[in-house]
Chains A and B, each alone.
Chain A
Amino acid sequence: MNSLKTVVKFEILRSLKKKSFWVSALLLPILLVGYIVFAGAMGSNVEGALKAENENADAKLAILDEAGLMKSELTENWVKVSEKNIGIKDVRDGDLDAFVFIAQDFTENPKIEVFANNKSLFSDYSAVISGVLVGSALADLEASEQIILTHTYATDTTTFVDGEEGSLLGKMVVPLVALGLFYVLVILFSNRLTTSTIEEKENRITEMLLTAIPAKTLILGKIFSLIALGVLQTFIIIVPLILVYAFGRGTAIMGMDLGAILANVEINPLTILTSFVLLAASYVLFVGLCVLVGSLVPTAKEVSSYSSIIMILTILPVFSISSFLAAMPDALVYVLSYFPVSAPVALMMRSAFGTLPWYELLIGTVVIIISSIVITRFAIRVFQYGAMEFTSKISLRKMLTRK
């Protein structure tokens, strides 16, 4: 146990002492956050386009216009509701996609209430409703009402997800943070994981080490240290995010109202727990895969081609993002969700996009945990077997048939 602790401590400290560790640990998250803020500020048009695209004509909309503001031709296909509570109930039950309520006292209290089912990312129907309102305003309303309607009215939108009040975008934040963290860990640690595994072999330190400690202790020490460094990297990203959440309300960044964004963020302990269990299991699986590759080959040069395959398989779901954004997952989504190497990103994306039922999250997480245990144990075995193989790749056939 002491030897294991010594290996873990040595591996962690030598990483922390390196400038390159801190440069990559701090720089990449800063660059990513910078890019997200920049893209957010530049991307309002894209969001508008997506809204328009998603709020199609098939949407089942309803209205109760007590003030009589809306031009009837523009809402002729809308369901007319007699009572506000009935409209809200129908939205909650999923019978309506959205319900607009305009109170009788609109001129004194210019507020429009919208209740919408948040089925996909951009389905709060605000673009459709806004279009109808503006169209109505410009038609035959009195000038004072036009001014109120086009310039000063407020929209109070209540959205529902699966019958419960909430916003899909707000629910996305925690799973999306977990996905972002995993992505950062994959980028930053894949090279470190493989080269760390191969270092002793390549530098011919193995023989001196193996008279003092068993190969299993050495590789376990490396695995634990890499997991600890992953946890540290996670904290480096999470702590600023928590600080922004705690103190960022009322702040604007590049024109984006941070307070408004943060107000929608749903902090659900169960979502946090499941997201981070999934993240932890996924990282251990990734560590196991990289250690396996590092154990199979004798030099760092040969590692790169194998580790690229792992990287591509890991981020494969990103290339099929359109399938993942759809409300109804197709076969490809299911395949990628249960194939161990692609499962982490696939499940995290589905969790973020609100298309992952709890039982699938549970099954997927169990698949990843079992895979991470099996692969890590196998990687340890390969490392032990191949610790003295300095010149050629390990033959798995020979290893598995060895007595």
Chain B
Amino acid sequence: MSKKIVEIRHFRMRFGEKEIIRDLSFDVEEREIFGFLGGNGSGKTTTIRALLGMYEPSGGELLIHGKKFVPGSEPVGYLPEERGLYRKESVIDVMRYFGMLKGLENPEEWSLKFLERVGLSDKINEKIEQLSGGQQQKIQLGITIMNNPKLLVLDEPTKGFDPINRKLLMEIIDEQHEAGATIILITHYMDEVEKLCDRALLLKDGVARASGTIAAIREKFGGKSLNEIFLEVYGGENE
């Protein structure tokens, strides 16, 4: 029987009068790639932030390895959708800083290897603000995976990448998975989900509209592709 890495039970989240999540429950099992899907504003990011202890849930419980997550207590990597870095600092300084915070013994050595891998070894001493958006995203991905996280949460990881870099990124995600990471993948690219994910959950208006293995979801919707299912659930209302 697979071990549950993430357990979300009857999660509710309310901001003032607005209820964002209504009684959401799901598990993510060890070493699986889990697709967490939904339209803009459906509550995906809110759920992840609550899981990672950044929001206090209005109800229910969100656990990682059976416990409420405490920052720094275990290797978790989170690549948020809204991205940013210390713009005035050099690439190596920023990577070294995050590496030290994540407990790496030699963050500089790791960073240099990663930068070489993603073709940015000539940018080591450049300021972050001098890099292109795609280059900055690569740095952020490096920071996310630098401590070999057991749980990797990737929110729109390929957004803004050209096809070559998208392929590179997919390879890196694949390597992390091979190395034993459990991955929660948030994306609007349904082809990525069909290709990568073992299971998925489709969120709308704070409740799960479909969940299970990709095959089970497709079967439930009469063999339609995930793209078609997404359109059917959202009825073309999503941007």
Q: A205-B84, A388-B55 are in contact. Are A211 and B77 (CB under 8 A)?
A: yes
Nearest CB in chain B to that of A205: its residue:
B84
Q: Does residue A254 face the partner (Cβ distance < 8 Å to B)? A: no
Contacts of B72 in A (CB 8 A): 3, 212-214
Answer whether residue B215 sits at the interface, using C-beta atoms and an 8 A cutoff. Answer: no
* Minimum CB distance partner of B73 in chain A: A214
Interface centre among A2, A7, A208, A388 (most CB of B within 10 A): A208
Does chain A have a CB within 8 A of B76? Answer: yes
A207 with B80: CB separation less than 8 A: yes
Smallest Cβ-Cβ distance to B45: which chain A residue = A207
Q: Which residues 1-31 in A have Cβ within 8 Å of B in the complex?
A: 2-3, 6-7, 10, 14, 18
A377-390 near B? 1/0 per residue, CB < 8 Å: 00000000001101
CA distance A392 to B103 in the complex (A): 33
Asked if A210 is at the interface (CB within 8 A of a chain B CB), the reply is: yes
Within 8 A of B (CB), among A170-213: 199, 203-213
Interface centre among A212, A213, A214 (most CB of B within 10 A): A212
- Bound-state Cα–Cα, A209 to B143, Å: 10
Question: In the assembly, what is the distance between CA of A7 and CA of B70, in Å?
Answer: 18
Q: Which residues of B contact A212 (CB under 8 A)?
A: 71-72, 98, 101-102
Query: Given that A14-B89, A205-B84, A208-B144 are known contacts, is A213 also in contact with B98, CB under 8 Å in the complex?
Result: no
Within 8 Å of chain A (Cβ to Cβ): is B231?
no
Report the Cα distance A189→B178, complex, angstroms: 49
Q: With A and B bound together, what is the CA distance between A387 and B52 in angstroms?
A: 13
Q: How far does the Cβ of B48 sit from chain A's closest Cβ, in whole Å? A: 9
Q: Which residues of B contact A7 (CB under 8 A)?
A: 101
CA distance A380 to B103 in the complex (A): 24
Chain A hits for B97, CB < 8 A: 6, 10
CA distance A6 to B84 in the complex (A): 20
* B36 sits at the interface (CB 8 A): no
Interface size class on chain A is 20 to 34
Q: Which residue of B lies closest to A206 (CB)?
A: B54
* A209 in complex: contacting residue of B53, B88, B93, B101, CB < 8 Å: B101
Q: Which residues of A contact B102 (CB under 8 A)?
A: 212
Closest to B80 in A: A207
Decide if B49 touches A207 in the complex (CB within 8 Å): yes
Q: Does B86 contact A (CB under 8 A)?
A: yes
Measured CB to CB, the nearest residue on chain A to B58 is: A403
CB distance from A120 to the nearest CB of B (A): 50
A198 CB to closest chain B CB (Å) equals 13
For the complex, what is the distance from the CA of A232 to the CA of B159, rounded to whole Å?
Answer: 44
Residues on A with C-beta less than 8 A from B18 are none
Closest chain B residue, CB of each to CB of A216: B71
Which of B71, B84, B100 is A210 in contact with, Cβ under 8 Å?
Answer: B71
CB of B65 closer than 8 Å to a CB of A: no
Residues 36-61 of B at the A interface (beta carbon under 8 Å) = 49, 52-56
Task: Check if B80 sits within 8 Å of A214, measured CB to CB.
Answer: no
- B60 CB to closest chain A CB, in angstroms? 15
B167 at the interface (CB under 8 A from A): no
B216 within 8 A of A: no
Chain B interface (Cβ < 8 Å from any Cβ of A): 49, 52-56, 70-72, 76-80, 82-89, 93, 97-98, 100-103, 140, 143-144
A-B contact pairs, 5 of them (CB 8 A): A204-B80, A205-B85, A208-B140, A212-B72, A387-B54
CB-based closest 10 A-B pairs: A204-B84, A203-B84, A207-B80, A212-B101, A211-B78, A6-B100, A204-B82, A214-B71, A10-B97, A388-B54
